Amino acid sequence: MVVELGHFALILALVVAGVQMVVPALGAWRGDGRMMAIGEPAALIQLGLLLASFIALGYAFTTSDFSVANVFQNSHSTKPMIYKISGVWGNHEGSMLLWVLILALFGAAVAAFGQNLPATLRARVLSVQASIAFAFCMFILATSNPFARLDPAPVEGQGLNPILQDPALAIHPPLLYAGYVGFSIAFSFAIAALIEGRTDAAWARWVRPWTLAAWLCLTLGIALGSWWAYYELGWGGWWFWDPVENASFMPWLAGTALLHSALVMEKREGLKVWTILLAILTFSLSLLGTFLVRSGVLTSVHAFAVDPERGVFILGLMVIFIGGGLALFALRAGELRQGGLFAPISREGGLVLNNILLTTACATVLVGTLYPLALEAVTGDKISVGPPFFNLTFGPLMLPLLLALPFGPFLAWKRGDIGGAAQRLFVAALVALVAVVVSLAVFQRGPWLAPFGIALGVFVMMGAISEIAHRVKLGSASREEVLRKIGNLPRSVIGTALAHFGVGLMVVGIVATSAYQTETVLVMKPGESADVAGYRLTFRGVSPSQGPNYREQIGTFEVTRGGEPVVALYPSKRIYNQPPQPTSEAGIHASWRGDLYTVLGDAQQDGAGYSMRIYFNPLVRFIWIGALIMSIAGCISLADRRLRVGAPIRGQRRRSSPQPAE
């Protein structure tokens, strides 16, 4: 009964979305205020219906109602409750329902918080937003109904893929989707602006908080996925340039570019046409990501849906939204007045460089991901495009970006002084040089470029610190003055510096772990020891154990350093009951130097020992800590009163921003 109600609520949501798509747009076109006003209640009702639908599916999962095909295929009665809940989105149908739910959530947020948007703009935004919701509700109902019943109902379910039964992966999809789908707001605003034929700084100020919110969710989501892959897949890697990873990375790159170009548009009314285009492209890449993962076209790590009918449907949706958006752009972009002229060396110039490099990097990932598919379709030739390709093409684009990054915030708008910026970065450059020497001394082997990579990361981090130090006049003003200035720093400035600091930290982690990871592969018998990165690991044997829905073999390592006990590590091998599938759980000891990462292999044929894999990953945590810092920085920026959702009213804005921009 509940399940049928959920199904019915989904159908109603489709109808409401249809109304919300058509009526407010018509109203905006005819200047009819009452028709436009339908947008807000419709958006809220749509959210309510989708929420009800989602809760109904959640109810079926938590009560293990195996008469629902989706629950039967993806759940099991003995599964822990958290994975029964995460099972709702751990499959194709449920995750698409989550997708539209989050879409509706963003739409409703515009309805609720967009009171000060011009009426026609708000009506059009809600209408475009509803058109996406309509299309995806249609997709779910036509090809991926999560509420389909089975008759007769099976007694037990088939279970969830064990590698997906993990806390990080339970919240990874919702975060990722909040990022993907959040960019729909930027898209809807862009389309609405093109229909209206005008955009201004206020437009950018409305769009930026939404983009920022989506961006920080996507950052967290990608980082969580990478962290999960690191500890779950068991070979110490954290990024594989897998097509499905790329699918989420492309919107992230474009979204990052969009955040920066919208800044130029907001402050200087420059880059208008480009910002609109980026807004369309960013969401297009989100749709492409959804298509790549959901259509099964890649059949890769995460592609759990292999069904051409769905692929064709999503492809159709993509053609409509991306094609329609770009066509509208081509027709109307000429009418948008460009403003905000500036010299090459200026804050704007720096942000343009950022955009050139980020969009090219994004395009490289796009081409690398799709090229093998396209080539095979056209010529039948099969080629592989893997990590060596991406490292070779993506890496060189990041170098100038990172090198230029610290200069950006030191350049004035319109026309900057590169010499002055360089002077202010003198200390940062000095610290970076020290970093070269230190890393040469600490890691005596490894590629000769690596110390410079680390130095680049340090330069970016120190650049961010220098910017804050310069703003609060550290070293030249009195202590009270500095403290007062610190208290008065706008949150967006703190957010920017912190995000850039996070980028630098991440770069240090990436370079250190890529260049200096050590791997030891050996056979160990109980009682034997191995020395890795200053640690001594003594293998104490393997014992069997029983988990809630799996059996496991747990290996025990005693780890000492300089004779002092440090920790005991328990790498294990599990076999899940349903589906009967083994997984490997790494035993990891994290410290500020890096991670000691142990993987239990198989018993040797003669029974006299186990094959072991012991990694030391220097500074690897910096990667995720960096991403976390970037997300926190996003939150801080979001809390800036000038960026508060719906804040932009001219009078208010003036009163609330007493600080000059530089």
Binding to another protein (CB under 8 A) within 393-422 occurs at 393, 397, 412-415, 417
User: What number of other Cβ atoms are within 10 A of residue 299's Cβ?
Assistant: 11
Using the rule CB under 8 A, is 33 a contact of another protein? Answer: no
* Interface pick for another protein out of 115, 379, 444, 478 (rule CB under 8 A): 379
Whichever of 591 and 659 has its CB closer to another protein, that residue is 659
Whichever of 32 and 417 has its CB closer to another protein, that residue is 417
- Taking CA atoms, 265 is separated from 216, 325, 566, in Å, by 20, 20, 54
Q: Coil, strand or helix: which one is 474?
A: coil
CB of 201 to another protein, least distance (A): 8
CB of 160 to another protein, least distance (A): 9
Whichever of 310 and 613 has its CB closer to another protein, that residue is 613
What share of residues in the chain are helix, strand, coil (percent, to 5)?
A: 65, 10, 25
Considering only the stretches 9-17, 25-33, 294-302, 623-631, report the one whose residues sit in contact with another protein under the rule CB under 8 A.
Answer: 294-302
Using the rule CB under 8 A, is 371 a contact of another protein? Answer: yes
Residues paired with 553 in a beta bridge: 544, 573
CB of 360 to another protein, least distance (A): 4
- Taking CA atoms, 8 is separated from 63, 95, 470, in Å, by 20, 18, 59
Q: Find the Cα–Cα–Cα–Cα dihedral 156, 160, 165, 167, rounded to 10°.
A: -90
Whichever of 34 and 654 has its CB closer to another protein, that residue is 654
What part of residues 630-659 is at the interface with another protein (CB under 8 A)?
642, 653-654, 657-658
β pairing state of 529-532 and 610-618: unpaired
Residue 560 main-chain phi, psi, to 5 deg: -125, 160
Tokens of 620: 């690897």
What part of residues 150-189 is at the interface with another protein (CB under 8 A)?
161, 163-164
Using the rule CB under 8 A, is 445 a contact of another protein? Answer: no
User: What number of other Cβ atoms are within 10 A of residue 639's Cβ?
Assistant: 13
* Interface pick for another protein out of 316, 388, 447, 541 (rule CB under 8 A): 388
Residue type for position 605: Q
What part of residues 549-588 is at the interface with another protein (CB under 8 A)?
581-584
What part of residues 262-281 is at the interface with another protein (CB under 8 A)?
267, 269-271, 273-274
Whichever of 529 and 591 has its CB closer to another protein, that residue is 529
Residues paired with 545 in a beta bridge: 552
CB of 20 to another protein, least distance (A): 34
Q: CA-to-CA distance for 622 and 640, rounded, in angstroms? A: 27
What part of residues 606-625 is at the interface with another protein (CB under 8 A)?
611, 613
Whichever of 63 and 360 has its CB closer to another protein, that residue is 360
Whether 10 contacts 100, CB under 8 Å: no
Nearest C-alpha neighbor of 549 from the set 232, 165, 153, 90? 165
**Residue 586 CB burial class (10 angstroms; 0-12, 13-18, ≥19):** buried
CB of 560 to another protein, least distance (A): 23
Nearest C-alpha neighbor of 95 from the set 195, 175, 186, 199? 175
Q: CA-to-CA distance for 149 and 291, rounded, in angstroms? A: 26
Total of chain residues touching another protein, rule CB under 8 A: 83
**Residue 459 CB burial class (10 angstroms; 0-12, 13-18, ≥19):** buried
Q: CA-to-CA distance for 77 and 64, rounded, in angstroms? A: 6
Whichever of 482 and 523 has its CB closer to another protein, that residue is 523
Considering only the stretches 44-52, 102-110, 338-346, 502-510, report the one whose residues sit in contact with another protein under the rule CB under 8 A.
Answer: 338-346
Binding mask 57-76 for another protein (x = CB under 8 A): --------------------
CB of 442 to another protein, least distance (A): 21
Q: CA-to-CA distance for 542 and 613, rounded, in angstroms? A: 15
CB of 246 to another protein, least distance (A): 10
Binding mask 586-605 for another protein (x = CB under 8 A): -------------x-xxx--
**DSSP assignment of 573-610:** EEEESSS--EEEE-EEEE-SSEEEEEEEEEEPTTSS-E
| Beta strands per DSSP E along 170-313 | none
CB of 26 to another protein, least distance (A): 35
* Interface pick for another protein out of 348, 467, 585, 640 (rule CB under 8 A): 348
Q: CA-to-CA distance for 390 and 365, rounded, in angstroms? A: 7
* Interface pick for another protein out of 16, 71, 133, 352 (rule CB under 8 A): 352
Whether 488 contacts 587, CB under 8 Å: no
What part of residues 493-522 is at the interface with another protein (CB under 8 A)?
521-522
Specify the residue for token string 């590169």: 418
CB of 217 to another protein, least distance (A): 24
Tokens of 45: 């009702």
* Interface pick for another protein out of 11, 153, 392, 477 (rule CB under 8 A): 392
Specify the DSSP element, H or E, that contains 318: helix 308-318
Dihedral of alpha carbons 65, 67, 69, 74, sign = positive
Using the rule CB under 8 A, is 237 a contact of another protein? Answer: yes
CB of 43 to another protein, least distance (A): 30
What part of residues 459-498 is at the interface with another protein (CB under 8 A)?
none
CB of 489 to another protein, least distance (A): 15
Considering only the stretches 76-84, 186-194, 366-374, 619-627, report the one whose residues sit in contact with another protein under the rule CB under 8 A.
Answer: 366-374
Considering only the stretches 30-38, 184-192, 240-248, 433-441, report the one whose residues sit in contact with another protein under the rule CB under 8 A.
Answer: 240-248
Angle among Cα 236, 241, 246 to the nearest 5 degrees reads 130
Whether 38 contacts 53, CB under 8 Å: no
Using the rule CB under 8 A, is 447 a contact of another protein? Answer: no
CB of 603 to another protein, least distance (A): 8
State the first-to-last Cα distance of the chain, in angstroms, to the nearest integer. Answer: 62
Whichever of 8 and 304 has its CB closer to another protein, that residue is 304
Whichever of 357 and 456 has its CB closer to another protein, that residue is 357
Whichever of 1 and 378 has its CB closer to another protein, that residue is 378
Residues with Cβ < 8 Å from 487, sequence gap 6 or more? none
CB of 564 to another protein, least distance (A): 29
CB of 235 to another protein, least distance (A): 6
Whichever of 370 and 567 has its CB closer to another protein, that residue is 370
Whichever of 55 and 554 has its CB closer to another protein, that residue is 554
